[in-house]
Copies of this chain bind each other. A is one copy, B any other.
């Protein structure tokens, strides 16, 4: 990304932090040995993997043996959900998730639905929150697993995970949470919240793409999905992505520190951005919860315009952002998350997601606050709806 471009799509992916890359470099060059080998080079790599596993564990207040490395958040979600459900004695039953999950969870639960399980997709309130009484009503005697996204990737709503898990455990139901967006954004202590399974991904936290991890609490059995040489404590086979593992370890360590050093500044920028966007023109609305939201996420909706057109205009001005518009997705369906919080398809179309990162500056916020209102104005003038059309 050239210096003059402004990158505000950190929920899409993040650059690799230079310190993370520095930690990875030896493993992309001289330390290339296979960690399963018994010679010195292999043992050295094995030790490094152990260290990275400890880094990931520590950042979550877990232990090394709770951590399974995977190829990313998607695999972690698949393994967390299918692996735990398949290892239960009962070969069917009921699975609960929400209407605002990432496809990695939605499609996986649907897969279970296609294979003999009952599934419930819980509605959320207009802020994108799972309501505890709605959840309580949905739990059945044969409910096996509840999977709820910790921090939503679109509107940024953060769930009351501790209460959700408490409720689930009172009813003896396992809980998986997709924390791909929440890790390194909000403090997460797996012991404190008591979660059973938690997914995370490298490339959302200044680590590399193609690596992720699944936390599995002590004593919980999961069935492996990928069969082979028995790597990762026999739970996930495949030669270890060593540079990825090392990068994820470092990124988790840095992410934990960044919660106090970086995140307050990011949140302050985000707050100023949100305020500025809301004040710049009429009929502009916040999506998601005003307080219980990921600290880097600004998600706003402008009536009468369409998101792809907004993004392309921003792109021409050098600003990288995301939208909930169907027109920018392959499926051409409006964001299921925005529909779930009660927007009409037309409303969903006009949404803009700006997700900040530690490299963003106040000056960039100023630039975006200048650019967006001008584009909204231009597009509204073209629109047959609302202001433009009347």
B41 & A242 in contact (Cβ 8 Å cutoff): no
A228 & B103 in contact (Cβ 8 Å cutoff): yes
Main secondary structure of the interface of A (DSSP, over half): loop
Verify if A116 is at the interface (C-beta below 8 Å from B): no
Verify if A211 is at the interface (C-beta below 8 Å from B): yes
A311 & B38 in contact (Cβ 8 Å cutoff): yes
Quote the shortest CB–CB distance from A10 to chain B (angstroms). Answer: 10
* In the complex, chain B residues whose CB is within 8 Å of the CB of A103: 227-230, 237
* In the complex, chain B residues whose CB is within 8 Å of the CB of A331: 230
- Chain B binder among A272-280, A313-321, A376-384: A313-321
A40 & B110 in contact (Cβ 8 Å cutoff): no
A:276-317 near B, CB below 8 Å: 308, 311-312, 314-315
Verify if A87 is at the interface (C-beta below 8 Å from B): no
| Contact with A41, one of B227, B311, B320 (Cβ below 8 angstroms) | B320
B40 & A315 in contact (Cβ 8 Å cutoff): yes
A38 & B72 in contact (Cβ 8 Å cutoff): no
Interface string of A11-22 (1 = CB under 8 A from B): 011111000010
* In the complex, chain B residues whose CB is within 8 Å of the CB of A119: none
Known contacts A41-B7, A243-B209; A238 and B73 CB within 8 A of each other: yes
Verify if A390 is at the interface (C-beta below 8 Å from B): no
Quote the shortest CB–CB distance from A327 to chain B (angstroms). Answer: 9
| Cα-based distance from A247 to B218 in the complex (angstroms) | 37
A13 & B34 in contact (Cβ 8 Å cutoff): yes
A74 & B237 in contact (Cβ 8 Å cutoff): yes
Verify if A250 is at the interface (C-beta below 8 Å from B): no
- Chain B binder among A24-32, A156-164, A252-260, A338-346: A24-32
B32 & A14 in contact (Cβ 8 Å cutoff): yes
Known contacts A7-B41, A39-B321, A225-B225; A239 and B75 CB within 8 A of each other: no
| Cα-based distance from A32 to B230 in the complex (angstroms) | 32
A228 & B39 in contact (Cβ 8 Å cutoff): no
| Cα-based distance from A102 to B9 in the complex (angstroms) | 41
A:78-121 near B, CB below 8 Å: 78, 102-104, 107-108, 110-111
Mark A residues whose CB is within 8 Å of B: 1-2, 5, 7, 9, 12-16, 21, 24, 28-34, 36-42, 71-75, 77-78, 102-104, 107-108, 110-111, 201, 203, 208-211, 225-230, 237-244, 308, 311-312, 314-315, 319-322, 328, 330-331
Given A13-B239, A103-B229, A210-B244, 15 more A-B residue pairs with CB atoms under 8 Å apart are A9-B34, A13-B32, A15-B30, A16-B32, A34-B203, A38-B315, A71-B238, A74-B228, A74-B239, A78-B226, A78-B227, A103-B230, A209-B242, A209-B244, A210-B210
21 A–B pairs (Cβ distance < 8 Å), ordered by A: A1-B31, A1-B32, A2-B30, A9-B33, A12-B37, A13-B34, A16-B29, A16-B32, A34-B203, A37-B322, A39-B315, A73-B238, A75-B226, A75-B238, A78-B226, A103-B229, A103-B230, A104-B228, A108-B227, A110-B227, A211-B241
